[in-house]
Amino acid sequence: MLHIQNFIAGAFTEGAGGKNFEKRSPLTNAVIATVAEAAKADVDAAVAAGRAALKGPWGKLTLADRVDLLNAVAAEMDRRAEDFIAAEIADTGMPAGVAKHMCARGAANFRVFADVVKNVPTEFFEMATPDGRGALNYSIRRPVGVVGVICPWNAPLLLMTWKVGPALACGNAVVVKPSEETPQTAALLGEVMNAVGVPAGVYNVVHGFGPGSAGEYLATHPRIGAITFTGETRTGAAIMKAAADGARPVSLEMGGKNPGIIFADADLDAAIEGTLRSCFMNTGQVCLGTERVFVERAFFDKFVAALKTAAENMRVGPPHEPGVSMGPLISQEHRRKVLSYYAKAVEEGATVVAGGGVPEMPGDYAGGAWVQPTVWAGLPDDAAVCREEIFGPCCHVSPFDTEDEVIERANSLDYGLSAAIWTRDLARAHRVAAAVEAGVVWVNSWFLRDLRTPFGGAKQSGIGREGGVHSLEFYTELKNVCVKL
Ligand code: NAD
Ligand code: 6OD
């Protein structure tokens, strides 16, 4: 049986408390690994290792050498792509094509941020002084120290490296707490760090849970310089409270209940293809995914009929089977939550347009966390499935009559992560994009990502922006130096 350990100061270690927990396969529910749970002493050791690295070899590297090392990390990740893909699939059950994309993106997160730090401009100001000799001001960016990186399970490698890449590029050390559901790729990245010669202590991993475990120990650790988090909104709020002690900065990427807005002039095929992906990719476990679909009334019946056909044609199954476009949910626990919403939708009077149940799976797969891609219609906006984040392969479709109405309805929740707008009317696209309360808006597309762009949520979907130079704002402390001439 695979056993996954913590990675502290360049070495794989058991937890100081001697405790292990089990990782189960989403595909079958069988135990596939045991994981060493980090005790408080391990988190202390990981933070101390990070601080030592900052004072030692890592802190002394030139920018050019640091950039070279990060590019070497990316190259080694590419070389070991098959291992990363296999680990990601084992942890999440996602289709092979999706895992391949996510793992390639993991390596890109190191390359892109290596480039960003290399090219960051220095601010420079001349000033007059009373003696006429003047002074020069320049600003330099310093690392914030050891950054706590707390991660979710839905896109484990992509979302972890999205934080670790820029944090290291800016010269910090990190202590990563992967989700208890997805420990494998964080451990593999430790092997990569050692293989390319990243100094011990720069990248550390502590495994465990949230409250009373590694997550809480990390979030409350007094020697952490900043905390970056991706996960549920209520967890983010708990982390923000923990960070208030010691006034540490936080970057929070949290939940969503994102609208897709389809106008009657949209290209039907493109809108169906994009909406289908945004609702069902990664079994709907994508924070940017669409769970509320609003369709202009004149287009509604046509759109719903096409979405029904497309959803029913999706093939749910194991990762390597040809033609499979959707895998299982992450766990039985999450499946219980998603199925409770499937039941609630019906109780609240929804018309089930597609799916709504559990697919039959053969053999060992019968134990997996499978559900059908599901589309509902007919509910008012205040129904539970139209307000609460489900994080499963499901959406509710409802008609709208005017632009003002759909903007108001799209903005009616406390979430504000992303929105997708489908129309051929460019002026309207710009108007609605500006009016919709979301951190990320796509027009006639979904999940097109340039890593230099600002990423984050509005309202209760997030605090702060990361991406390109915006990541530098979070992962560095800007210092002004004034030199009297
Ligand atoms: P989660 O909040 O349950 O857990 C996230 C991480 O926080 C895990 O590692 C967990 O162990 C840890 N944790 C839990 N409680 C903690 C505490 N009190 N202190 C410290 N750490 C704690 O989220 P999840 O179920 O893993 O992920 C799904 C959620 O993540 C969804 O809500 C989804 O929308 C959100 N998400 C958001 C984004 C984004 O970019 N906005 C991206 C991906 C996922
Ligand atoms: O692409 C990204 O950078 C990003 N943060 C994606 C988030 C996906 C959420 O599930």
Which atom from ligand 1 is nearest to the alpha carbon of 181?
Answer: 26
Can you list the domains of the chain with their CATH numbers? 2-254+461-484 (3.40.605.10), 258-450 (3.40.309.10)
> How far, rounded to the nearest angstrom, does the alpha carbon of residue 237 sit from its chain's CA centroid?
17
Binned average pLDDT, 10 residues per bin, the chain of 485 residues: 97 97 98 98 98 97 97 98 98 97 97 94 93 96 97 98 98 98 98 98 98 98 97 97 95 98 98 98 98 98 98 97 96 98 98 98 97 98 98 98 98 98 98 98 97 97 96 96 98
- Structure confidence at residue 450 (pLDDT): 96
Write the single-letter amino acid at 332.
Q
Please report, for residues 13, 150, 251, the alpha-carbon distance to residue 451 in angstroms, rounded to integers and kept in the order given: 33, 20, 17
Which atom from ligand 1 is nearest to the alpha carbon of 287?
Answer: 34
- Structure confidence at residue 122 (pLDDT): 84
Measuring CA to CA, which residue among 442, 443, 464 is closest to residue 454? Answer: 464
Pick left, alpha or beta for residue 324 (phi over 0 → left; psi -120 to 50 → alpha; otherwise beta): beta
Whether 395 is a known active-site residue: answer no
> What is the whole-number distance in angstroms between the Cα of residue 225 and the centre of ligand 1?
20
Of all protein residues, whose CA lies closest to atom 42 belonging to ligand 1? 287
Residue 134 phi/psi, 5-degree rounding, is: 80, 175
Please report, for residues 52, 54, 72, 228, 459, the alpha-carbon distance to residue 143 in angstroms, rounded to integers and kept in the order given: 14, 9, 21, 14, 28
For residue 174, the cross-strand partners are 147, 203
Say if CB 355 and CB 394 are below 8 A apart.
yes
Write the single-letter amino acid at 235.
T
- Structure confidence at residue 119 (pLDDT): 87
Say if CB 184 and CB 151 are below 8 A apart.
no
Q: Which of 151, 170, 279, 287 is catalytic?
A: 287
388 lines ligand 1 (CB under 6 A): no
How far apart CA 276 and CA 300 sit, in angstroms, is 15
* pTM, entire model: 0.97
Q: Which H helix or E strand runs over 189? A: helix 184-196
Burial class of residue 355 (count of CB atoms within 10 Å of its CB; 0-12, 13-18, 19+): buried
Of all protein residues, whose CA lies closest to atom 5 belonging to ligand 2? 159
Say if CB 479 and CB 137 are below 8 A apart.
no
3-state secondary structure 274-298: HHHHHHHHHHHCCCCCEEEEEEEHH
279 lines ligand 1 (CB under 6 A): no
Burial class of residue 226 (count of CB atoms within 10 Å of its CB; 0-12, 13-18, 19+): buried
Say if CB 460 and CB 255 are below 8 A apart.
yes
Q: Which H helix or E strand runs over 103? A: helix 96-118
Residues 6+ apart with CB under 8 A from 399: 294, 295, 296, 297, 300
How far apart CA 398 and CA 376 sit, in angstroms, is 9
Please calculate the CA angle 214-247-461 and round it to the nearest 5 degrees: 70
> What is the whole-number distance in angstroms between the Cα of residue 322 and the centre of ligand 1?
31
- Structure confidence at residue 270 (pLDDT): 98
Residue 2 phi/psi, 5-degree rounding, is: -60, 135
Please calculate the CA angle 217-222-225 and round it to the nearest 5 degrees: 105
207 lines ligand 1 (CB under 6 A): no
Residues with CB under 6 A from ligand 2: 154-155, 159, 162, 286-288, 449, 455
